[in-house]
Amino acid sequence: MSYLALIHGAAGVSFFTDIGTDPQVYPTSPATWAAARSVASEFRAFTAEVAGGTPLSAPGGSGSVQWAAWERDSTLLVLLVNVANAPASANFSVPSAYHSSGGTLLFGTGRCLAAGGLGSFIEPLEPYGVRAILFHAASGQRDESSSPCQGAPPAPGSPPNNWLLNPSFEVESSLGFPDGYGLLPPAAGSHGYGASAQPTTAVARSGRASLRLVTARPNASLIVLPFPEWPGFPAGGSGAYEFSLFARAAASIRASGRPLSLVLAAPSLPGGNATACVLAQTASWTRCRLLVSGAHGGPTSEQQAKFQFSLASPGEAFVDDVALVRA
């Protein structure tokens, strides 16, 4: 919402919370205020371009992606927003003065941009994803100090080693759920009361976070859908792919001796592929995997390739290092 406000001409953004007597209706959350401070900090990095720059054109959009650009002192700021809870790709061009610039990513959860042609760029966006990208004219000095990009960007058209964005649940732009994932309710007829799926830093196989899954009743688990990052997955709708993750039962479940299983599935592929993975009753992480084929009319875009996982048994477990790769 904050980025959309700037794209559509806001001169400033303020944050507030309603005040009331019922804390459930009018919550005052320290985490929410921390998120507001984070967004304000991002805005300060490009205030000069928005406040003192010249809009390159009227705000634009294509599909679920909206954008705007400002030019100031041989620099060009581009803001991109995906307003949908589904992956999308931003296709945009920059003026000829900026054709030799690869773009410095100021804020967002993406990688370095790769040129799709002379002055033309393609940037995959996760659900509700945002990007703030700074381009420098050929005569200017490109500032790499603020860019989190490491190494060269992938060549145009080349898939990454792992198609999934945010595989270890490190990025959480919206508080309470990781970027690059969606949620589906339990199967029809069940309500999923007590079920949850939230990032946690209490347990992690790699990095600092994992996804904590809780299922309170049989057949009432939430379904988690990781969105493939690279447009056009799987390429050509053919080939074999491996969908995998690491999971570990909570200590209380291990102590009880109750079996706990995760289900990995790719229901949009021919045959309704699915497999159940029983977690070890130890502190070790169990690797769960599902081999699928995209042949015979398989999906040709990330919106169709709906890979998913869920905690089928009542209990508590942690998931980390989710991957989708060519087998």
pLDDT in tens, 280-321: 888 899 999 998 876 434 444 433 457 899 999 999 999 999
Decide: 56 and 41 in contact? Cβ < 8 Å: no
The pLDDT assigned to 137 comes to 80
**Residue 156 clears pLDDT 50, i.e. is over it:** no
Among 136, 160, 193, give the residue marking a domain's end: 136
Higher pLDDT, 326 or 208: 208
| Helix, strand, or coil (residue 21) | coil
| pLDDT score of 150 | 34
In a domain, 305, yes or no: yes
Q: How confident is the model at residue 152 (pLDDT cuts 50, 70, 90)?
A: very low
Name residue 23's amino acid: P
Same structural domain, 186 and 125? no
In a domain, 19, yes or no: yes
Q: What pLDDT score does 85 carry?
A: 80
How high is the pLDDT of residue 112? 45
Domain end among 121, 136, 151:
136
Is residue 312 situated within a structural domain? Answer: yes
Same domain, 33 and 113: yes
pLDDT of 190-241, one tens digit each? 555 778 899 999 999 998 899 999 998 887 888 898 876 544 454 444 567 8
Q: What is the residue-averaged pLDDT of the chain?
A: 76
228 and 309, same structural domain? yes
**Residue 216 sits in the same domain as residue 272:** yes
CATH number (domain holding residue 228)? 2.60.120.260
- Domains contained in the chain, number: 2
Among residues 195, 196, 197, the alpha carbon closest in space to that of 217 is found at 195
- Regarding whether 189 and 74 lie in a shared domain, the answer is no
For residue 189, what pLDDT is reported? 56
pLDDT in tens, 92-144: 888 878 766 656 666 554 444 544 445 677 777 778 888 888 888 865 443 43
The highest-confidence range among 56-70, 144-158, 229-243, by mean pLDDT, is: 56-70
User: For 262-280, what is each residue's pLDDT tens digit?
Assistant: 999 987 766 568 999 999 8
In a domain, 154, yes or no: no
The verdict on 14 and 128 lying in the same domain is yes
Question: Within a domain: residue 169?
Answer: no
Quick one: which H or E segment has residue 6? helix 2-7
pTM: 0.56
pLDDT for the residue 154: 40
128 and 188 fall within a common domain: no
Residue 120: which CATH number?
2.60.40.1180
157 lies in a domain? no
Range of the domain at 208: 181-326
Concatenate the DSSP letters of all residues of 99-129 into one string.
Answer: TT---EEEEES-----EEETTEEEEEE-TT-
**How many helices (H) and strands (E) are present in the chain, helices listed first?**
4, 19
Tell me the DSSP string of 174-188: STTS-TTEEEEPPST
State pLDDT tens for residues 163-179: 787 889 988 766 677 87
- 215, 128: one domain: no
| Shared-domain flag, residues 191 and 91 | no
Are 283 and 198 found together in one domain?
A: yes
| Residue at 119 is within a domain | yes
Given a cut of 60, whether residue 31 has pLDDT beyond it is no
Residue 239: name the closest of 259, 203, 269 by CA: 269
Query: Does 188 share its domain with 129?
Result: no
198 and 123 within one domain: no
Beta carbons within 8 Å of 124's beta carbon, 6+ residues apart: 87, 88, 89, 110, 165, 229, 230, 231
- Domain contains 233: yes
